[in-house]
Structure 1
Amino acid sequence: MSHDPVLDCPVGEEPEPEALIEAAMRWHFSPRTGSPFWLRRAETLGFDPVREIRTHEDLSRFPNVVHELRDAPARDLIPRGYGPDPDVVGVYESGGTTGSPKRVVLLGDWAERSVHQSLRAMTERGHPEGVDWLSMAPTGPHLFGEIIARQARARGGLLFTIDMDPRWVKGSIAEGRREEADRYSRHLLSQAEHVLSTQNIGVLVTTPPMLERIARDERLTALVNDKVRLIRWSGARMDPDVHHLLTTEVFPEVAFSGGYGSTMILGGVDERPEPGPDGTSVFDPYSPYCSFSVVEPGGGRPVEYGERGQVVMHHVSKSALLVNNLERDTAVRVRAGEGRVGDSVADVRPLETFEGRTAIEGVY
């Protein structure tokens, strides 16, 4: 495997943003180290990434290519620089909210780096160690499950899982089969009750829609309050009023930690410990590898700080280059912390329609 001191800096350290971007352009667009996908795509860009892309702002010159990941051969996404036997953790897919799913390849070095930054945040916030976890979240083709499994092991916990198929629920809702979606949710809750009633679960990982359903069930609510010390939520929007209700009245003694991310940045980030405007959750990017921009709807110029716009995501690392991706979310633009590139985001909400389709969240 080829080595680059910037792209291969020690886990837990972050390079200078411009040094990372310049090194990534050399890596991904060299015939020796780049992926077949990007080497082919380079011929259509109309600019030389190695000479012309040097800053975070320059990333906006790239076309949004993530829609091409619906059909691209997964092997073509692996950079040649990893050699004939790359450490592939798995091939993962987006939720398929607005059509057929997009695919990415998770490589071992990025999985280690991404999980390390989340573990560091948990330690800084005093999250429990040595307790068992229950994850009621997508597994299978979804990156969420892989990341949660690694986090639980690293924190010294056994992981109990309840598989969730968000596509079935979304399909049921889209076709007007709401009762089928509700029945599926009840199926998930019955499994959660069995695990919570028989095991000492200290960390519960799930989505806001499922938390709201748990809160409507007296026995499940009692089990969570009796055993769980931390609820980690992500995968769908958490309404600020619902967040306040859950944290102050339904689960008042349980710590909460939200997450925001995307398969298209190969991971996610935890919310800030302190709330943002109007009690909303604020998310800082894992800079400089992953970054956010908040722009006018449809991909225009950046909105003003404190204003709502559409989220654009970028991922720049040795393992992947996924930039200028216009997401299906809107958010309030917040100044990123010192030394971070791009924006932080608050009060993330899904668009009602995206790419000409109705966006359905369901349980995830």
Structure 2
Amino acid sequence: MPAADPAAVAEARAKLDAHAVETVQWHFHESTGCPFWLEKKKELKFDPLTEVHSYDDLKKFPEFEDEWLRGGPVRRWVPQGLADKPVYVFETGGTTGVPKSRIAIDDFRTDYSNFSETLPDKYFPVGSNWLMLGPSGPRRLRLAVEHLAQHRGGICFCIDLDPRWVVKCLKKGQIDHANDYKKHCIDQAITILTAGHDVRCLFGTPKLIEALCLELEERGTSLAECGITGIFSGGTEFTPQWTKFCVEELFGGPAEESGVYMTPTYGNTLMGLACSEPVTKENGYKITYHAPEPRAVLEVVDFDKTDEVVGYGETGRSKLTTLTKEFFVPGFLERDEGEREPPHTMYPWDGISGVRPFSRLAGGTTVGVY
């Protein structure tokens, strides 16, 4: 992959440093800050308003704790500078107890409007309708994909999917029930795709895209024949092996041959959306993600010394920092691991490849439909 220009890397870093300072000033100033951080400020051993001069200074904050995002009152996260705005609350999957929740106002729209700029119009035609084949309910993803469709001039069709029910089935060993539910979701999707709605673009999780392709094949048709030209998908199960199988077996070849283009993404409720470097047969379908800096930063850190990034090509845990006016999360240790990758020409900051569930926690996580 082409290396990033050193000047572009330096410029991106300077932008991140300035953005980090600006974000901290917002969240810790009495007139604009959120109740959670204004209260937490009393416990800190430093003054964020006077002692944060760069992104690296965020290491002065204690490790962000999972539990801070579980339970309420959720309004403690709403910055006073945005208190008069309509507020959404989005939840994580809830696979590990009480779901983590975060407030949102426009972040999900901003993230997906920015992501829209990376989609090739040839395969994601402006004005096309979309199908959202993923989790609904209290999750950010449904509204985000809907906004993406609207931002590009289309209308989004959504299926009804509750992954928490799938998780319950799997934990009870009710594999048949889980598969029945997956079939129920696929049936909903095929109903939409065959109803004359001119859907050209699709979001789906890897398991659901595979199930959709296989069911369409069983019915004597395919995604391409249903009119789909552009797919974006995400999740830790988006592997080079699965991508190769998908492109070569399910789609019928690369986009130039099959007419179906797919791009992977890596996102979550806290971060937003990380974009992928181009994934091709020539690079072994390797998938490398870059966070949407300066709004969010992903670092690959040592498993034990979590303030230290590992070397390029080395394995570590994913550490997230969110830096928007709506939400400030310094140094959140994700439930994922991967390899640190160097800056890219398109994204002149570090990336992460081989994203997978964190090995020391993986046994306690039920991936479900993702």
TM-score by length of 1: 0.88
What residue is the counterpart of 1:22 in the other structure? 21
Amino acid at match of 1:75: R
Identify which of 343, 354, 357 aligns with 1:350: 357
Provide the secondary structure at the position in 1 that maps to 2:303: coil
CA distance in 2, matches of 1:40, 1:92: 23
Report how far residue 334 of structure 1 moved.
0.6
What residue is the counterpart of 1:45 in the other structure? 44
Matched, 1:118 2:115: yes
What residue is the counterpart of 1:151 in the other structure? 148
Amino acid at match of 2:248: T
Classify 1:114/1:14 alpha carbon distance in 2 versus 1 (closer, same or farther; 3 Å). farther
Identify which of 274, 282, 301 aligns with 1:295: 301
- Structure 1 unaligned segments of length 5 or more: list them: 1-12
Matched, 1:189 2:183: no
- Structure 2 unaligned segments of length 5 or more: list them: 1-11
What residue is the counterpart of 2:161 in the other structure? 164
Amino acid at match of 1:268: L
What residue is the counterpart of 1:216 in the other structure? 214
Matched, 1:264 2:270: yes
Report how far residue 274 of structure 1 moved.
4.2
Q: How many equivalent residue pairs? A: 347
CA distance in 2, matches of 1:157, 1:124: 13
CA distance in 2, matches of 1:194, 1:15: 50
Q: Is the 8 A contact 1:351 1:359 kept in 2?
A: no
Q: Is the 8 A contact 2:240 2:285 kept in 1?
A: yes
Deviation by residue 1:97-128 (Cα, 9 ceiling, x = unmatched): 222210101112x3342222111112578632
What residue is the counterpart of 1:68 in the other structure? 68
Amino acid at match of 1:77: W
Q: Is the 8 A contact 2:214 2:250 kept in 1?
A: no
CA distance in 1, matches of 2:98, 2:358: 18
Report how far residue 344 of structure 1 moved.
0.7
Deviation by residue 1:260-305 (Cα, 9 ceiling, x = unmatched): 111112x212312245964221111111111100012255322111
Report how far residue 132 of structure 1 moved.
1.3
- Which range moves more in the overlay, 53-62 or 191-200? 53-62
Provide the secondary structure at the position in 1 that maps to 2:114: helix
CA distance in 2, matches of 1:113, 1:152: 13
Q: Is the 8 A contact 2:58 2:330 kept in 1?
A: yes
Classify 1:80/1:320 alpha carbon distance in 2 versus 1 (closer, same or farther; 3 Å). same
What residue is the counterpart of 1:245 in the other structure? 245
Report how far residue 14 of structure 1 moved.
11
Amino acid at match of 1:16: K
Report how far residue 223 of structure 1 moved.
3.4
Provide the secondary structure at the position in 2 that maps to 1:224: coil
Provide the secondary structure at the position in 1 that maps to 2:277: coil
CA distance in 1, matches of 2:122, 2:232: 13
Matched, 1:173 2:178: no
Q: Is the 8 A contact 2:136 2:161 kept in 1?
A: yes
TM-score by length of 2: 0.87
Report how far residue 61 of structure 1 moved.
2.9
CA distance in 2, matches of 1:125, 1:23: 38
Q: Is the 8 A contact 2:264 2:276 kept in 1?
A: yes
Report how far residue 341 of structure 1 moved.
7.7
CA distance in 2, matches of 1:184, 1:236: 21
Provide the secondary structure at the position in 1 that maps to 2:332: strand
CA distance in 1, matches of 2:200, 2:347: 33
What residue is the counterpart of 1:97 in the other structure? 95
Provide the secondary structure at the position in 1 that maps to 2:72: coil
Provide the secondary structure at the position in 1 that maps to 2:336: strand
CA distance in 1, matches of 2:297, 2:121: 21
What residue is the counterpart of 1:311 in the other structure? 318
What residue is the counterpart of 1:6 in the other structure? none
What residue is the counterpart of 2:337 in the other structure? 330
Amino acid at match of 1:91: V
CA distance in 2, matches of 1:294, 1:334: 9
Matched, 1:362 2:362: no
Report how far residue 30 of structure 1 moved.
1.2
Q: Is the 8 A contact 1:209 1:362 kept in 2?
A: no
CA distance in 1, matches of 2:133, 2:351: 27
Percentage of identical aligned residues: 28
CA distance in 2, matches of 1:186, 1:113: 33
What residue is the counterpart of 1:5 in the other structure? none
Classify 1:39/1:269 alpha carbon distance in 2 versus 1 (closer, same or farther; 3 Å). same
Amino acid at match of 1:171: K
